[in-house]
Chains A and B, each alone.
Chain A
């Protein structure tokens, strides 16, 4: 069972990396958004360092949505989804394994890139660490919420924009607590830990919800 789930996660991650469309595009998009903002905001370093964490978070949220529409759709089109149903492993765990593989290929690179891009936004070293930590704890929640959207739109031909519309409202709590934890380090005086722990809790809750809801959506989409 563990080997099978690792195989699914590994295949999903490698598909994202190899097809070129997924992981790299998300990273380039993340880079583009973060690099463009300072030009729009102007050369006010204080302002930039204050809104920097929020920019990184919003860019990460939008970058996460890219490529999600193909998470289950490719499998449905090429017939793999039928065979996954027949594998005998719980569909809930298969959904989680797919989400894990997707996060490894698309979410983790964003987390790794965040400290370097934070430099462009004049974020201080300590705050940089805080933003990266919140992204590490929060991007799984974004991917997992997105997984439900991907499962729901599997049967539709092109679900890209629909996923964004479905997922964004549910991503707002993640965004709020992620940004407030990171901002607390910069502007204070609120403590870092409470919003950070809520962020971790959101990731854990969305893992449960994504497994159940994603599997239910895939079952309903069988035909």
Chain B
């Protein structure tokens, strides 16, 4: 889906009865990288979950235009703090599950290769390190094509090489007409086209 726009207007988010940000407005289209920065508790994760449709905004709205038939969720890959992997399943089984669920067409072995875990796809996820699990979660972004990637601190637990790999994948996604929105603490290996800086709005 080329030519889409992600537009937020006067967006406010609440978390635990506390307004974490308000009056937020941004717009982005294909090929852009939005970085979301701010101190702990500034509402970065809340913002990403609101954009994904997993949380309702306190006020304002965020929309993907043109809106996909089955809601914004079907255009979105969400990489949260949890990897959403089943420990007793192998890497290939985990990725295969999400590929079928998201009606993806990407090759699982290629995706595993891309995140630097080539030859390990037969291993149960329980045997992987935190960084390797993170890599598998990133591989999930590749097995099903969805235009918007929402990444919540994607570089957590990744080593330097994997961070560079992540940068390459983000570049590739953007070059293919995708949009990336990432909550980060450390700079991404990719230069963001815009930065949304969240601060503390109210105590």
Seen from chain A, the residues whose Cβ lies within 8 Å of a Cβ on chain B are: 3-4, 7-8, 11, 14-15, 18-19, 77-80, 82-89, 222-223
Contacts and interface: CB of A to CB of B under 8 A. Distances in A.
B70 interface: yes
B175 interface: no
Interface string B81-111: 1111110110000000110111100000000
Interface of B: 49, 52-55, 68, 70-71, 73-74, 76-78, 80-86, 88-89, 97-98, 100-103
B54 A86 contact: yes
A222 B54 contact: yes
Contact of B103 (A4, A82, A222): A4
Given A85-B73, A86-B76, A88-B74, A78 B88 contact: no
Contacts of B71: 88
Contacts of B97: 7, 11
A7 B74 contact: no
A217 to B, nearest CB: 16
15 contacts: A3-B100, A3-B103, A7-B101, A18-B89, A78-B83, A78-B84, A78-B85, A79-B80, A79-B84, A86-B73, A86-B78, A87-B102, A88-B71, A89-B101, A222-B55
Scoring A3, A7, A79, A88 by chain B CB atoms within 10 A of each residue's CB, the highest score goes to A88
A18 B70 CA distance: 33
Contacts, number: 70
Nearest to B88: A18
Nearest to A8: B101
Contact of A223 (B55, B70, B76, B100): B55
Contact of B74 (A3, A8, A80, A86): A86
Given A87-B74, A88-B74, 15 more contacts: A4-B103, A11-B86, A11-B89, A77-B82, A78-B83, A78-B85, A78-B86, A82-B80, A82-B82, A83-B78, A83-B101, A86-B54, A86-B73, A87-B101, A88-B70
Contacts of A86: 52-54, 73-74, 76-78
A85 B54 contact: yes
Most buried by A among B81, B85, B101, B103: B101
B33 to A, nearest CB: 21
Given A78-B85, A86-B52, A4 B101 contact: yes
Contacts of B101: 4, 7-8, 83-84, 87, 89
Contact of B100 (A4, A19, A79): A4
Nearest to B98: A83
Contacts of B86: 11, 15, 78, 80
B103 A19 contact: no
B88 to A, nearest CB: 5
Given A4-B101, A18-B88, A79 B83 contact: yes
Contacts of A15: 86, 88-89
Contacts of A14: 89
A139 B85 CA distance: 30
A76 B148 CA distance: 23
B78 A82 contact: yes
Contacts of B98: 83
Nearest to A84: B101
